[in-house]
Amino acid sequence: MAAICSLYIINKSGGLIYYKDYGSAGRMDTNDSLRVASLWHSMHAISQQLSPVSGCLGIELLQADTFDLHCFQSLTGTKIFVVCEPGAQYMESLLKFVYELYTDYVLKNPFYEMEMPIRCELFDINLTQAVQKDRVAFLGR
């Protein structure tokens, strides 16, 4: 089971609406996670501008020395990205499943205001279960 270090959700304006750290050594405080999320939003947009062919949707996978960053962008511009150890597999499936959880437990919550930080207990619970589950199970979805 590959380790997942942290998971971020940012809205279409680049604001951080959800941040979950899973016990990495490089823990960031709230301000730093906000800055990192905003910076990723900008980098994602710039990578589209530098594409040599048309139809670019932005960075899907960033590979670094000590981690991989997988990013999923919905059609409405919400981005979900996860920082995991290098070579982790099935992250695309996990991100799509997290998007399902987001639509089911956050967007369908009548008390949730769009673009605001997510504070839904059911979303937290189901997300924790999804992260701990064997990700091969997501392939069938």
Partner 1 sequence: MQFFGGSEISPSPPAPTASGNNGHMMYVFNRNGVCLLYREWNRPLRTLDAQQDQKLMFGLLFSLKSLTAKMDPTSAVEKGNLGMPQLPGQGCSFHSFRTNTYKLSFMESPSGIKIILVTHPRTGDLRESLKYIYNLYVEYVVKNPLYTPGSPIRCELFNTTLDQYVRGIS
Binding site for partner 1 (CB under 8 A): 5-6, 24-28, 32, 35-36, 39-40, 42-43, 46-67, 69, 83
Task: Return the exposure string of 16-27: e unless at least 16 CB atoms fall within 10 Å of the residue's CB, then b.
Answer: bbbbbeeeeeee
Q: Is 96 exposed, middle or buried (0-12, 13-18, 19+ CB in 10 A)?
A: middle
User: Of 91, 95, 48, 47, which is closest to residue 67 (Cα–Cα)?
Assistant: 91
> Which lies closer to partner 1 via its Cβ, residue 47 or residue 109?
47
Q: How far is the CB of 92 from partner 1 (least distance, A)?
A: 12
Question: Between residues 57 and 122, which has the closer beta carbon with respect to partner 1?
Answer: 57
Distance (Å, whole) CA 77 – CA 63: 22
Rank residues 42 and 129 by Cβ distance to partner 1 and give the closer one.
42
Task: Kindly state the smallest distance separating residue 50's Cβ from partner 1, in Å.
Answer: 6
**In this structure, which amino acid lies at residue 114?**
M
Q: Which is nearer to partner 1, 60 or 124 (CB)?
A: 60
Q: Smallest distance from the beta carbon of 12 to partner 1, in angstroms?
A: 18
